[in-house]
Amino acid sequence: MKKLALLSLALSWLSLSACAPDSVGRYQTGETKEEATALLNGRQYQKVIWLIENRHAADPEGEEAYLLAQAYLGKSGVEPLAFAADISRPEPDNEAARNLFPQCPKGELRSHRGVPMKCILKRVYLRAPKADDPDFARARYLLRRAYPVPANTPEWVNTLIGLVETLSVVSRAGDVYLFAKGQTPAQLMIGAQVRLPWLKNHGRRAREEARFAIDRARHAGPKISGLLSGSKADVWFEQADGTVTYAETVGLPKFLDFVRDHVLKPNDEIRYGEMIDRLRDLVAQEENSLLQTDDDE
Amino acid sequence: MLRLLLLLLIAFFAVLPAPARATDFDLSLAYGQSRDFWRLVGDIQDRTGNAAEIDALARNRYGRPDVIYSYLDAAYAYPHSHFNWEPFGMLVIGTRAEALAGGEISNPISPEIQAYANATGIASIGYRSLNAPGRKTFWEARLLGGVGPEKRLYAQGAEFLDTIPVRNGALFLGGAFLQMMNHAQPGEDFYVTTDLFVRTVYFHSTTDAPLSKPDEDLSFFTVRWKLQNEWLKEVDTFLSSRTRLGIISVLGQNPTPFLNLPVTWDYQQHLKTYPGFRSTSGIGGIARFLNDRALPNVALYGGFFGGAFGGGADLQLGPVVLNASTYGLENFLSPSREKTRIWNATLGIAL
């Protein structure tokens, strides 16, 4: 009996020593980069957000802002490798996919070689969160706050920030494109905004995000376009930079006139001509209303 | 450089005094593994540029470090006539061949992959205590030096989709260690064993830093320390009339009882002298079942070591000791310091 009791005691001790502190090991405070990264590894994005935001009265800065931004990015569904992988997968079957460049290949892309850039951008648009999605927008804000100067930012961080800015621009451009084709974006259907302010807001923000994206791309080499398109060429940002600069110089209505008169091919004219006219009229109305507002003020 | 070092070591051993009497010969062979990370590295490199397949490979591997190692350690000791001091009465010459490989993918938002592999030959020389009957305290001090090839890999973010370069170089190490083991019997049936180990090593690698992490430092000092105690009460059980039950406590980096990690582990993990209390402490229970000849024939132990459950069993059959154990080892490659479950087997022979 005594032997049995001793054996039980020994086994109990072994069991207790093995199991008891486990809950202590799992207790997380998110106070260190170590813990936050462990939670990111486990894709517990909401937990990182909760832990970091509860420790700060105001938005954090530096490394903490970067960790928080990563958590918001994960929560909005953007994991860079997974996102890049999604671009190759078959297009989703929805109204936006049917209206946006319907001639583009719809199936799985084994290689991005030879696929027109607009088709890659279409896939980016279909997978990206909406630019004003609260989690995605907060991630964008925190990333800018964590690393405000591209020249002083590590290359990969510039790549990540550039990716987020690029997704924002593509998302807005896709929305405006569909809007110009007569498809009403969700934001307008729920009546939260009227058409002109919505367009104005999208245009302004897209221009700002394009500038940020270009700035980041200058300090990230070809990695942003590489991640999204598999192409090492920096062609995206060279073209975007030139386009933004030109549009800002001549004004958007004149820019759209220029596109219609000199860039569109005869086939494109049939497809996109009417859409560009509608967009041009809307932008002109917006500029007039802005002038009117300025006069009133 | 490598040849010169080997020639110096051979010359050093050649001029040593010839062995006399009462020699010791220890041999140990160890193998430990979680998973083979380099297989994953190979799979990723085979799919260069294919984001979908690379993502599929990496998707469930974030924060799961892997490691694999093996080593063969031999030591030959004999009484010397250099000085007359029993605590260091034997000259000991050791050789060791070890291989270590591992890596980790971390953070799905800001992805990072790191992998390393090295094979190192280590020679050592020093003194240890004479194995006299009734001795309670044993000392050992050795100088050690080694060299071997290594390869490393690092990529971050978009670099996953490029061809990830494997960087090659040579790893040199030099250092010393001191070990002390004491068996005390404070009461009639109460035993305390103390095992103290301190090792300092300077590592120098010729491998270049990765392009996207140019400030990575691959030449540095490490200090490893470990204090292991067994607090045992002897009782009579039906398994053995001399059963010792008690507590085993460990302090030091990787506080795992009876587990000797490869020397180059300290280099690959950029070992910190004090990585925090949780990372340097462990406690558990131990049971030893002794036979009539007072040999610790069987030992079972388990507990919470370095923040994770660990345990193992020792079996002694004459001069042969077999050990099987498992521990959760902390990985310092990434900021999250995730643990990997390692399964270890050791065969030791003491002649």
Pure H helices in A128-234: 134-146, 155-180, 186-189, 195-218, 223-229
* Residue A259 pLDDT: 65
Q: How many Å apart are CA B332 and CA B312, to the nearest integer?
A: 24
Among A143-147, A155-159, B64-68, the minimum mean pLDDT is found in A155-159
List, for residues B217-247, the tens digit of each pLDDT value.
899 999 999 999 999 999 888 777 788 999 9
* Closest chain A CA to residue B62: A41
pLDDT of residue B21: 45
Give me the torsion for CA of B151, B156, B158, B162, rounded to 10°.
0
Lowest mean pLDDT among A33-37, A279-283, B303-307: A279-283
- Chain B residues touching residue A48 (CB < 8 angstroms): none
Quick: pLDDT tens for B251-303: 999 999 998 899 999 999 999 999 888 899 999 999 998 876 656 689 999 99
**Residue A186: its pLDDT value, please?**
58
Q: What is the pLDDT of residue B300?
A: 95
Q: Write down the pLDDT at residue B14.
A: 41
State whether residue A73 sits within 8 Å of chain B by CB. yes
Confidence check: pLDDT of B154 > 90: yes
pLDDT score at A12? 47
* Chain A residues close to B337, C-beta within 8 Å: 34, 38
Confidence class for position A191, pLDDT limits 50, 70, 90: low
User: Tokens at residue A266, please?
Assistant: 């005869």
Paired tokens of A226: 């590489």
Least reliable range by pLDDT among A109-118, A243-252, B98-107: A243-252
Higher pLDDT, B35 or A199: B35
- Tokens read off for A18: 């093995």
What residues 219-278 of chain A have any CB closer than 8 A to a CB of chain B? 223-224, 226-227, 230
Nearest C-alpha neighbor of A148 from the set A80, A61, A224, A71 = A61
B54: pLDDT strictly greater than 60: yes
Res A262: pLDDT: 61
pTM over 0.90: no
Distance from the Cα of B276 to chain A's closest Cα (Å) equals 12
Q: Cβ separation of A18 and B309 shorter than 8 Å?
A: yes
- Smallest Cβ distance to B336: which of A10, A38, A71? A38
Q: What is the mean pLDDT of chain B?
A: 88
| Beta pairing, strands B90-106 & B339-350 | unpaired
pLDDT of residue B20: 41
Could you tell me which residue, B271 or A270, shows the higher pLDDT? B271
* A96-110, A160-174, B209-223: the lowest-pLDDT one: A96-110
pLDDT for position A11 = 47
* A-chain residues near B110 (CB < 8 A): 70, 80, 156-157, 160
Q: Maximum CA pair distance of chain B? A: 70
Structural domains in chain B plus CATH codes:
2-17+24-350 (2.40.128)
**Structural element, H or E, at residue B104:** strand B90-106
Nearest CA in chain B to A33: B335
Give one DSSP letter per residue of B247-270, joined into a string: EEEEEESS--TT----TTHHHHTT
Query: Which residues sit opposite B289 in a β-bridge?
Result: B243, B298
Strands B90-106, B219-235: pairing kind: unpaired
Name the residue among B330, B315, B311, B316 with its Cα closest to residue B261: B330
Nearest CA-CA distance, residue B270 and chain A, Å: 16
pLDDT at A65: 93
Choose among A58, A85, A78, A192: nearest CA to A137.
A78
Of A196-205, B156-165, B168-177, the poorest mean pLDDT is in: A196-205
Task: With cut-offs at 50, 70 and 90, classify the pLDDT of residue A68.
Answer: very high
How many other β-carbons are positioned within 10 Å of the β-carbon of residue A21? 17
Q: Which of A6, A34, A89 sits opposite B336 (nearest CB)?
A: A34
What per-residue confidence (pLDDT) applies to B13? 42
**Is the CB of A35 inside 8 Å of chain B's CB atoms?**
yes
pLDDT band at B82 (very low <50, low <70, confident <90, very high): confident
